[in-house]
Structure 1
Amino acid sequence: MSMFEGRKITPKHELYSVIAAIQQFDGSNSSVASAIAKNALDVDLGTFGNGGLSNYHFDEVTRNRLLAHARQDAAHAVAMAHVTAREVKSLKFIVLLLVLLVVALCIYLFVKL
């Protein structure tokens, strides 16, 4: 007898189990992100737990919900790209400072010896 027999698996529990499997076997952040996105899409489409749709015939409410989520995802991606660019810029500055520090230390040691 399965531990899930007679119990409905929720999208949340399904996602947790998929993420646990990914972390055990793969562990990559991109795989986890893909699993989260797939789970959210299945929930949005109402296809979770029924094998999915063979074709996409959405009613107006579902279509509008998907459009809203797509716009939100795009806005999030743009925001994260800006944050990442800022982080890269600050890291480049830190690396430059470290290189200058190493060069100065090498010159100091060369002059001292």
Structure 2
Amino acid sequence: MMIRIGNAGEKWSNCSSGRPIIERTMAALHKDGVHEFNFSVGNYAYKRCFGVTRLPLIDISATLSWREWPYALRDRAMHRLRDYPRLDARLRRALGKPLSREAD
């Protein structure tokens, strides 16, 4: 699994060591026969530089007792809310929750 090493903001974005580290790691692993890499979740710009193919994720909630029903209902509501990004953003702002930091 590949993860981003760090981010010091826009001012330092062209000096980041993250991309060369990922590139060299992938090259070394490729020599060892590894040809598929998991860049984890998120639609970050640095992933597009490597030609990453997006795959849909599956979100499963299963209750094992009646006590878990409220959590399962919350998960289902949050999942459905993703279908309405503007409403999701409004609710997050109203609740003081941070918005996603993913780059489109």
Q: TM-score range by the shorter chain?
A: under 0.3
TM-score with structure 2 setting the length: 0.24
Structure (1 or 2) with the greater helix fraction: 1
TM-score with structure 1 setting the length: 0.23
